[in-house]
Amino acid sequence: MSLKNQVAIVGVGDTKVGVVPGMSATQLYVQAAKLALDDAGLTKNDIDGLITSNSFVEPYMYHAEMIAEYMQIFPRYCITVPTGGGTTGAALHHAASAIVTGMADTVLVTKADSQITGMSRAKAIEAMATAGHAQFERPYGLPIPGYYALLARAHEHAYGTTAEQRAAVAVACRKHASMNPAAQMRDPITIDDVLKSRMICDPLHLLDCSLVSDGGAAFILTSAERARDFPKKPVYLLGVGEGHTHEHVSQALSLTSSAAREAGERAYKMAGLGPQDIDFAELYDCFTPVVIIELEDLGFCPKGEGGRFVEGGRIELGGELPINTHGGLLSHCHPGQPGSMFAITEAVRQLRGECGQRQVRDARTALVHCQGGIMSTHCTLIFGAEQI
């Protein structure tokens, strides 16, 4: 059964991001949910489905049930979805499937974490250092940025991608964040600024790396038929696809391509669209080389051409394919697993025409791509301002 045109997002909400003192991760989850409920004109009693992902800072064995208990929601559909940065797309995929199959009518997806105020430096270093396979990766000492540095080097060797091209990704995201009053980092940067920022893991500089943040976001999904009765303009799911190739980077089939290709192909097929039909894209940008690989694997340019594709303002507002119009993980915020939530809430606002200075002109279709692990798990979502 195709999910095309079957469901729509009717409410979204973002908390403050960056350093958010005085609020626990759980409180951020609930605040994001409340903002999405308000946006949809609903109360908590209207929700009969709930999806969360576990907080890294404040974990619970049954996280979704805990949030339901906290909010005094009594859903008939309630799950916790843990697939790293790809969780957001997988959660929406689950929610849409639940609605179409009658398991729930109105599903709230809410995610948050407090990775600045809720995590010590020692805990953060431990998390970065223990992500790899205990036998085959951790003994060699690579932290998470080191694994992504492998991807950057591999792409350089295979296709001649340059540091300047990677830096262009960071510059575009910061340009868009400068127009977003909610973004954590808004001061414009140049390619030279990126290249002069301190080295984190060769060849990745500080400004090639995503932020660390507190924050949360939520969205509410219901059937396309019911969506017409909500106060805000609904945003329709046109296509969704997933792709999964490995857990540990040492087992990856390739360091220069990913299952974004399969995820994108499945989403395009369901939507009946192609890359040429997409008006803007919100791409997972934990590190700058990831965006270049995703652009290739999602069909926006041929393999090996991603570095050249990001040059000359082509991925900036007014360019061929604006990406990460809120600033992305590189400049808006990155609270961990919730990072891609802000890509969805931004896509919804863009398709509603609510983004002011950073609005994509005549935006009708959006692609959101979520990625988890070290290019391990992928989900592509295609949204439309109207059913097609």
| pLDDT, tens digit, 9 for 90 and up, residues 340-385 | 999 999 999 999 999 999 999 999 999 999 999 999 999 999 999 9
Q: Which domain holds residue 332?
A: 7-118+211-384
- Give the alpha-carbon dihedral of 60, 61, 62, 66, to 10 degrees: -30
Q: What is the mean pLDDT of residues 312-316?
A: 97
Percent of the chain topping pLDDT 90: 91
Model pLDDT, residue 1: 78
Give the mean pLDDT of 110-128.
86
Q: Is 125's pLDDT higher than 80?
A: no
User: Does residue 105 fall inside a structural domain?
Assistant: yes
| Tens-place pLDDT, residues 244-262 | 999 999 999 999 999 999 9
pLDDT at 120 over 90: no
The total domain count for the chain is 1
55 within domain boundaries: yes
Confidence of residue 123 (pLDDT cuts 50, 70, 90): confident
pLDDT category at 83 given cuts 50, 70, 90 is: low
Q: Confirm whether 112 is domain-assigned.
A: yes
Rounded to whole angstroms, how far apart are CA atoms 54 and 25? 10
Q: Using an 8 Å Cβ cutoff, are 96 and 344 in contact? A: no
**Residue 37 located in a structural domain:** yes
Asked if residue 273 is part of any domain, the answer here is yes
Dist. CA 243–CA 388, nearest whole Å: 25
Please provide the distance, in angstroms rounded to a whole number, between the alpha carbons at the two ends of the chain: 17
Mean pLDDT of 9-31: 97
**Three-state secondary-structure class, residue 77:** strand
Strands 7-14, 106-114: pairing is unpaired
pLDDT by residue (tens digit) across 197-214?
Answer: 999 999 999 999 999 999
Q: Which residues contact 316 (CB under 8 A, 6 or more apart)?
A: 172, 175, 176, 322
CATH number at residue 55: 3.40.47.10
Residue 161 included in any domain: no
> What is the residue-averaged pLDDT of the chain?
96
| Domain presence at residue 266 | yes
Task: In whole angstroms, give the CA distance from residue 338 to residue 26.
Answer: 13
Q: Is 29 inside a domain boundary?
A: yes
* Cα→Cα distances 206→46, 199, 215, Å: 44, 6, 21
Separation between Cα atoms, residue 205 and residue 194, nearest integer Å? 7
Q: Are 306 and 51 in contact (CB under 8 A)?
A: no
pLDDT at position 89 = 95
